[in-house]
A and B are shown apart, each in its own frame.
Chain A
Amino acid sequence: QSALTQPASVSGSPGQSITISCTGTSSDVGIYNYVSWYQLHPGKAPKLMIYDVSNRPSGVSIRFSGSKSGNTASLTISGLQAEDEADYYCNSYTTSSTPVFGTGTKVTVL
């Protein structure tokens, strides 16, 4: 199972909106609404930000939203803040009954 494709980096100024794409295939992102997104800060436990394409867990800011079209899922961060600077990974369930992660995106707040 090949990793889902994400841009290596995305940047934005405080207050702006950014979108991270996550491209898979008809065997993962395209067939299931089981895409999740994770935020990684160095030295901290990874954090679930979005699940089932567009659902936010309790406690996650409403500035984070998710969507999907065809084989590509997206994570949008609105009103970008300094604390959003981190690595972000998408994940999808696959037809092999296993999960696959994306290649990861480094978000920089300018």
Chain B
Amino acid sequence: QVQLVESGGGLVKPGGSLRLSCAASGFTFSDYYMSWIRQAPGKGLEWVSYISSSGSTIYYADSVKGRFTISRDNAKNSLYLQMNSLRAEDTAVFYCARLTHVRFDYWGQGTLVTVSS
């Protein structure tokens, strides 16, 4: 069965960096687009970024453009999100999701990122 497991969340100071990982299993990872989505405490879902199956096509939300970098390693069945220049408003649960023709058909349980001094 499809499994997505996020890791790498934690407490970081404003201006700091963090790298999230998502380990995928149960499907041919290299065939699928993948995405990161976040939910700030008490707020709604916000799409963050997506990457094509080969990694050649990448999009970001305006709120993270220039600060976050999405990448993948198809040999390791892994998705990553490098987050730099973190702000308090980046505090959220970050979800990894498989993207199948514009729908997010499988999600992980999420990893919490807290940006605070």
Contacts and interface: CB of A to CB of B under 8 A. Distances in A.
Interface of A: 1, 3, 32, 34, 36, 38, 40, 43-48, 51-52, 57, 89, 91, 93, 97-104
Give the one of A38, A44, A89, A99 with max B CB within 10 A.
A99
Nearest to A43: B109
A45 B104 contact: no
Interface residues of B, number: 22
Given A97-B59, A98-B59, A98-B61, A48 B103 contact: yes
B109 A91 contact: no
8 contacts: A38-B45, A46-B107, A48-B104, A52-B103, A89-B45, A91-B104, A101-B44, A103-B44
Nearest to A99: B47
Nearest to B95: A46
Contacts of B106: 45, 48
Nearest to A32: B102
Interface of B: 4, 35, 37, 44-47, 50, 59, 61-62, 95, 97, 102-110
Nearest to B105: A48
B105 A57 contact: yes
B110 A45 contact: yes
Contacts of A104: 44-45
B108 A101 contact: no
A37 to B, nearest CB: 10
A40 B110 CA distance: 12
Give the one of A3, A101, A104 with max B CB within 10 A.
A101
Give the one of A46, A98, A102 with max B CB within 10 A.
A46
A91 B95 CA distance: 15
Given A45-B4, A93-B102, 18 more contacts: A1-B62, A3-B44, A36-B104, A40-B45, A43-B109, A45-B110, A46-B95, A46-B97, A46-B107, A51-B103, A57-B105, A89-B45, A98-B47, A98-B50, A99-B35, A99-B47, A101-B47, A104-B44
A46 B38 CA distance: 11
A89 B44 contact: yes
Contacts of B95: 45-46
